[in-house]
Amino acid sequence: MLELKNVNVSVKDGNGDNVDILKDINLTLENNKIYVVTGPNGGGKTSLAKAIIGIYPVTGGSVTLDGEELSDKSITQRAEMGVGYAFQAPTRFKGLKVREFLTIAAGTDDEALLFALLVDVGLCAQDYIDREMNSGFSGGELKRIEIASILARKLKVAVFDEPEAGIDLWSFQKLTETFRRLNETNDTTIVIISHQERILRLADEVIVIAGGTVSEITNPDKILGEIELEDPDCKLCPKCSERSLLSGVNEEYGVRV
């Protein structure tokens, strides 16, 4: 169980002044549950993820995993304790192959396992395994490899930051299935930062972050039910009858449906 109590994070702005980006965050995230974090742009969602992973040190409050304080732990130590983060903007690595990257993540070079990870994110393993993680990849391809690096690890807490960004509609379905399976087969706490309806529908609870604070903890039906759909019978996707990702926006929550 991951607990954040009165967590504050501040960073320096361009003038060297401290700016509070997270204020009095209180969250209890239980094992084997999916939490979707949503809210308007700039509200503090990614900052929350970075505070959990250790990229942003907390300036007040505490972050504990199964009762053990994380605040004084490095990124590496938190990773060893079972905290993982799929970055919003995946990094390119010159000279590093997908095989090497996933081997680091999985802690093994077992080819069958590495292949399975790529298949899980909708990539042809044979085509991708020995490609370099450089400019040859599209953003969507890189995003899927980033997600695979998290699936590779046995985690207590897995944080995915806008996993749908750059992913095509058809692979998106695969992605949601992967999250469901991860939830069903592991005891992992899954945290997904997202604005998308189909991701929200995966949630046990939806956490709305706005202005650097938790403004609401609710369920997906409540948020989605409050949104008046502009075009519920959208025809944009030829392969499924699911609504378009772009057909409506809930201004309050910044949720797209």
Of 105 and 199, which has the nearer Cβ to another protein?
Answer: 105
Q: Please report how close the Cβ of residue 183 comes to another protein at its closest, in angstroms.
A: 21
- Give the strand pairing for 157-161 and 83-86: parallel
SS3 193: strand
Of 75 and 217, which has the nearer Cβ to another protein?
Answer: 75
Q: Please report how close the Cβ of residue 93 comes to another protein at its closest, in angstroms.
A: 6
Task: Tell me 132's DSSP state.
Answer: B
Helix (H) or strand (E) holding 197: helix 197-200
How far is Cα 8 from Cα 85, in angstroms, rounded to an integer?
A: 20
Sign of torsion over alpha carbons 250, 255, 256, 257: negative
Give the binding site for another protein (CB under 8 A): 53, 55, 74-76, 78-80, 84-85, 87, 89-91, 93-96, 100, 104-105, 107, 149, 153
Q: Please report how close the Cβ of residue 122 comes to another protein at its closest, in angstroms.
A: 21
Q: Please report how close the Cβ of residue 146 comes to another protein at its closest, in angstroms.
A: 8
Of 85 and 137, which has the nearer Cβ to another protein?
Answer: 85
Of 104 and 236, which has the nearer Cβ to another protein?
Answer: 104
The candidate with the shortest Cα–Cα distance to 212, out of 18, 15, 14, is: 18
